[in-house]
């Protein structure tokens, strides 16, 4: 009886005494040859059947030997080829080493020879990683999601999932994408940033850090805004660390990224539809349900739709100290988007009433931005001070002003604090945090 290589992956092909790491690709002068051999071996494994008298291990080794026997390869090169094929069988193909690399924060596959990675906020093309063809990319995607009970194929050409280590995966297949399968993986950071990291890297100043810590302690409601990859979730995680240990905190996310260290944390995560098109649980569903769970604080990873109305309701009904993030270009744009999200609910509420609702609910708006040099900075901290002429009024407390760019690409600028005592200082002092006044002398 014959079987296909793709039907079975439990193979151990490491029969060499010396293992040459796959990421030592640059050590080989003839990289084109190694790439050619890898592709030939993978195609042969896929195209040929495993005979009934042959074990999968023997089949794989024979295919490798058959391809490389005509080439004068040294032991390191042979081991390198074996490791590449081992990654195909027991790992995630060309992505195996990228997924292991702790410095890489994002992996983007746009085509078989077009793989991008992000390191320290900088996006660059990875010239050492490639796939055989589009089918090879699809096979790796399927391998990544199969352990999660998910699938991706022509009938289901899009998948959004969280990997076992917490990394977020999004994949799209044709015909939804025109030039072949697309894969994006936002890797889960094992070592989360803390406020000291922010101070060390210049994300904010000590005064800004002290002010935000006091806002969290005083249970002010905080909205964090910024663009994609600006660091909103990272900042939310840092601010969440200031919550008191005796509070019952409920976190709500599409994909669990927040990792609070307080002892009483309930983490809720949304769920997509199953194959029958049922079972969907949205952020809004979880926000509504969380109100019945006696929370001291509700922390929503991101609001992007109808759940904004329920989040504002929670903030207005005694759940002080709630926090969330939102995609927006700035504090003013964020409040405009909030209005739109509330209107998405179909409730007949005048815009003026919605603005009053927002004014009552949110105390502080924090903007974070990633600059061209890859560094992330808190560019403004505003407070909402009321409504004038039917418009929500914000007052800026702190800001970052860019003054130039150095020849090496580094962005330079300065943090400024306005000569203004925020109204929220009185709220903070009323909660017993008197030393906050020292900042604004």
Is it the case that residue 417 has pLDDT exceeding 70? yes
The pair phi, psi for residue 262, each rounded to 5°, is -65, 155
> Is the pLDDT higher at 21 or at 191?
191
Decide if 222 contacts 323 (C-beta within 8 A).
yes
Of 65, 90, 115, the one marking the end of a domain is 90
pLDDT band at 277 (very low <50, low <70, confident <90, very high): low
151 & 216 share domain:
no
**134 and 255 assigned to the same domain:** no
Q: Are residues 222 and 347 in the same domain?
A: yes
Give yes or no for residue 437 having a pLDDT over 90.
no
| Per-residue model confidence (pLDDT) at position 127 | 84
Domain termination site, one of 189, 223, 255: 189
- Report percent pLDDT > 90 for the chain: 50
Of 166, 118, 159, 168, nearest to 138 by C-alpha is: 159
Domain that holds residue 78: 1-90
Domain boundary among 32, 57, 90: 90
Chain segment 402-413, per-residue pLDDT in tens:
999 999 989 999
Which of the four pLDDT bands, split at 50, 70 and 90, describes residue 148?
confident
Segment 56-99, tens digit of pLDDT: 777 777 778 877 877 877 878 878 788 878 887 788 989 998 99
In the structure encoding, which two tokens stand for residue 228, read together?
Answer: 């994609």
DSSP 52: T
Confidence (pLDDT) at 68: 81
Q: The tokens of 178 are what? A: 């025109």
Instruction: Give the pLDDT confidence score for residue 2 in this predicted structure.
Output: 52
The answer to whether 311 and 323 have CB atoms below 8 angstroms apart is no
Three-state SS letters, 259-276: CCCCCCEEEEECECCCCC
Give the CATH number for residue 170: 3.30.450.90
Give tens-digit pLDDT for 10-28. 445 554 434 445 455 555 5
Residue 326 near residue 338, CB atoms below 8 Å: yes
Q: Please check whether residues 228 and 288 belong to one and the same domain.
A: yes
Q: Is the pTM value of this prediction over 0.85?
A: no
């Amino acid at each position: 009886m014959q079987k296909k290589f793709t039907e079975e992956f439990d193979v151990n092909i490491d029969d060499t005494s010396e293992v040459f790491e796959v990421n030592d690709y640059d050590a080989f002068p003839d990289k084109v040859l190694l790439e050619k051999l890898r592709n030939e071996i993978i195609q042969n494994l896929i195209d040929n059947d495993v005979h009934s008298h042959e074990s999968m291990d023997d089949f794989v080794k024979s295919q490798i030997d058959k391809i490389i026997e005509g080439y004068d390869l040294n032991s390191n090169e042979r081991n390198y080829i074996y490791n590449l094929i081992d990654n195909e069988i027991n790992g995630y193909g060309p992505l195996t080493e990228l997924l292991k690399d702790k410095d890489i924060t994002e992996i983007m596959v746009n085509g078989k020879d077009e793989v991008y990675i992000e390191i320290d906020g900088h996006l660059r093309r990875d010239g050492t990683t490639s796939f055989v063809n589009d089918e090879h990319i699809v096979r790796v995607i399927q391998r990544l999601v199969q352990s999660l009970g998910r699938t991706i194929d022509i009938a289901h050409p899009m998948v959004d999932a969280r990997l076992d280590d917490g990394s977020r995966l999004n994949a799209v297949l044709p015909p939804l994408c025109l030039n072949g399968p697309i894969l994006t993986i936002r890797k889960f950071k094992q070592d989360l940033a803390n406020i000291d990291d922010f101070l060390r890297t210049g994300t904010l100043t000590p005064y800004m850090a002290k002010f935000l810590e006091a806002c969290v302690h005083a249970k002010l409601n905080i909205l964090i805004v910024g663009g994609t990859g600006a660091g909103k979730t990272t900042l939310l995680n840092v601010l969440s660390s200031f919550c008191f240990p005796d509070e019952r905190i409920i976190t709500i996310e599409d994909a669990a990224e927040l990792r609070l260290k307080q002892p009483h944390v309930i983490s809720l995560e949304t769920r997509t539809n199953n194959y029958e098109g049922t079972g969907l649980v949205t952020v809004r569903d979880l926000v509504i349900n969380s109100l019945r769970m006696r929370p001291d604080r509700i922390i929503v990873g991101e609001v992007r739709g109808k759940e904004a109305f329920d989040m504002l309701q929670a903030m207005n009904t005694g759940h002080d100290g709630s926090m969330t993030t939102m995609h927006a270009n700035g504090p003013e744009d964020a409040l405009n988007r909030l209005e739109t999200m509330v209107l998405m609910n179909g409730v007949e509420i005048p815009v003026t009433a919605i603005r009053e609702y927002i004014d009552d609910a949110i105390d502080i708006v924090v903007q974070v931005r990633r600059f061209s040099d890859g560094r992330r900075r808190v560019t403004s901290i505003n407070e909402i001070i009321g409504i004038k002429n039917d418009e929500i009024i914000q007052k800026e407390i702190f800001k970052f002003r860019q003054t130039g760019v150095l020849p090496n690409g580094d962005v330079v600028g300065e943090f400024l604090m306005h000569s203004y005592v925020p109204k929220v200082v009185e709220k903070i002092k009323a909660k017993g945090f008197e030393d906050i006044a020292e900042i604004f002398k």
